[in-house]
């Protein structure tokens, strides 16, 4: 009985000490057993009990003389009156109070994220272990970082002689794919490429670097040897021009495949000017070429080092070329 009295007193004390204490006290009182209410009602000297009765406007003597059911009814009546007076009041033990749901969702969400992260890490470790056991060769290739771009190739230069990757062994080279009738992209790319190489050669390291430039025409049907040579002389006479026998030449197609170069013929539709017309006014070679716009930097053993996008400036081109060549030379020394 003593423990029950202390328990009831503790509940009412906490309720009275809180803001909105009258409503909170009523909530607690309604949750008490009938025996607890009667037990506490027999402690008229308790200060907290007197305060509770005063807040709830329940007469102490009348409340003590009431039967068990009447006492509960009185509490319910006071509770409903408080709800009507201030509907925003809530039981502080309820999850409906402001902020409770947010905290609950946050905790559950955080736990879910943590579990998901741990599952992902375990799956990743399992996959890596499985890969290392079943395919060690692929890991070795990835670690080495060798890109599957380029390879042995051979076409024909502007003198009509065979020319290919074997002729470039022992020197770094840049290789660009385009066509002589290209209105703007190819000329702009070649201009930047030539100026970028001039910056490389003017640098302190430049005099030690042997770099050549190769232009591959993807349109040999129109780009004759003479036309390619005249076109390249506009930019730099040292550029090496090569191409195939015709647009569907097997060697040309195979080389483009090795360098991941896309190229397709696009027919002109009806046009009002003389583009594509011969001397008699008839349409001839009425098309353009859509192709990949990339320059590749290859090392002195015909291995891919880097690709140079058309968005790079002359300064950026020079920097990428120099840094990749020097890094490759350092790696050679380490492998000795």
User: Could you tell me which residues are annotated as the binding site for Cu cation?
Assistant: 182, 186, 291
d(CA 317, CA 194): 10
Residue 266 host element (H or E):
strand 263-267
Contact 157, 165 (CB under 8 A): no
The two beta strands, 172-178 and 211-217, are parallel
Which two tokens mark 256?
């483009």
Is residue 57 within 8 Å of residue 5, measured between CB atoms?
no
Please give the Cα distance from 210 to 221 (Å, whole number).
32
Per-position b or e across 325-334, b if 16+ CB within 10 A of its CB: beebeeeeee
Q: Please return the burial class of 92, using the count of CB atoms within 10 Å of its CB with bins 0-12, 13-18 and 19+.
A: middle
DSSP 45: T
Quickly tell me which residue has 């890109």 as its tokens: 147
Nearest to 105 by CA among 119, 93, 115, 113: 113
Rg (Cα) of the chain, in Å, rounded? 44
Calculate the alpha carbon distances from 211 to 169, 173, 194, 318, 321 in Å: 11, 5, 11, 12, 10
- In sequence order, what are the residues at sequence separation of 6 or more whose Cβ sits closer than 8 angstroms to the Cβ of residue 146? 303, 304
Q: Are 171 and 212 in contact (CB under 8 A)?
A: yes
| Cβ atoms of 50 and 60 closer than 8 Å | yes
> What is the phi/psi pair of residue 231, to 5°?
-65, -45
Closest CA to 293 of 161, 145, 199, 189: 189
Q: Which residues are known binding-site members?
A: 182, 186, 291
């Amino acid at each position: 009985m003593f423990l029950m009295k202390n328990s009831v007193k503790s509940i009412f004390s906490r309720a009275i000490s809180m803001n909105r204490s009258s409503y909170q006290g009523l909530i607690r009182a309604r949750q008490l057993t009938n025996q607890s209410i009667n037990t506490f009602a027999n402690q008229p000297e308790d200060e907290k009990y007197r305060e509770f009765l005063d807040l709830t406007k329940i007469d102490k003597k009348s409340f003590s003389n009431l039967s068990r059911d009447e006492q509960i009814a009185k509490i319910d009546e006071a509770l409903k009156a408080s709800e009507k007076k201030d509907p925003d009041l809530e039981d502080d033990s309820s999850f409906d109070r402001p902020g409770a749901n947010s905290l609950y969702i946050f905790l559950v969400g955080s736990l879910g994220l943590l579990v998901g992260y741990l599952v992902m890490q375990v799956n990743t470790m399992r996959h890596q272990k499985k890969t290392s056991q079943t395919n060690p060769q692929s890991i070795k290739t990835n670690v080495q970082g060798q890109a599957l771009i380029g390879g042995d190739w051979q076409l024909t230069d502007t003198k009509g002689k065979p020319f290919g990757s074997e002729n470039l062994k022992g020197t770094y080279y840049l290789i660009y794919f385009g066509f002589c009738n290209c209105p703007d992209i190819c000329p702009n790319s070649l201009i930047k490429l030539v100026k970028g190489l001039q910056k490389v050669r003017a640098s302190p390291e430049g005099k030690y670097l042997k770099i050549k430039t190769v232009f591959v025409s993807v349109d040999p049907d129109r780009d004759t040897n003479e036309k390619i040579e005249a076109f390249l002389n506009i930019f730099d006479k040292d550029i090496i021009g090569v191409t195939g026998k015709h647009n569907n030449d097997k060697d040309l197609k195979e080389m483009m495949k090795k360098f991941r170069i896309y190229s397709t013929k696009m027919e002109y539709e009806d046009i009002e000017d003389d583009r594509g017309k011969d001397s008699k006014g008839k349409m001839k070679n009425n098309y353009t070429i859509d192709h990949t716009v990339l320059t590749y930097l290859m090392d002195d053993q015909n291995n891919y080092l880097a690709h140079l996008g058309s968005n790079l400036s002359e300064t950026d081109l020079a920097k990428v070329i120099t840094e990749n060549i020097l890094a490759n030379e350092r790696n050679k020394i380490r492998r000795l």
